């Protein structure tokens, strides 16, 4: 089984990369507001998906540990 910490670290790395990209886009003065919003939409959606996935993975891990405790 893959350690939960490894999964969370990878998700955190991806989230950081997304945030870096957001800052790059927002800071780019060559892009107008409309184009900035268009570029940000998929990044924001991806972040939400990753956060939901992380929460789901944590819940699965918690339930797994609870089931193991019941068996012991």
Cβ burial, residue 66 (10 Å; 0-12/13-18/19+): exposed
Query: Which band of pLDDT confidence, cut at 50, 70 and 90, is reported for residue 1?
Result: low
Residue 2 has pLDDT above 90, yes or no: no
Give pLDDT tens digits for 46-70. Answer: 999 999 999 999 999 999 999 999 9
Give pLDDT tens digits for 6-49. Answer: 999 999 999 999 999 999 999 999 999 999 999 999 999 999 99
Residues contacting residue 22 through CB under 8 Å, at least 6 positions apart: 40, 43, 44
């Amino acid at each position: 089984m893959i350690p939960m910490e490894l999964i969370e670290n990878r998700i955190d790395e991806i989230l950081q990369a997304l945030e870096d990209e957001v800052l790059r886009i927002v800071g780019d003065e060559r892009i107008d507001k409309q184009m900035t919003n268009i570029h940000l939409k998929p990044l924001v959606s991806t972040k939400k998906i990753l956060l939901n996935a992380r929460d789901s993975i944590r819940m699965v891990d918690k339930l797994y540990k609870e089931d193991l405790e019941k068996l012991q």
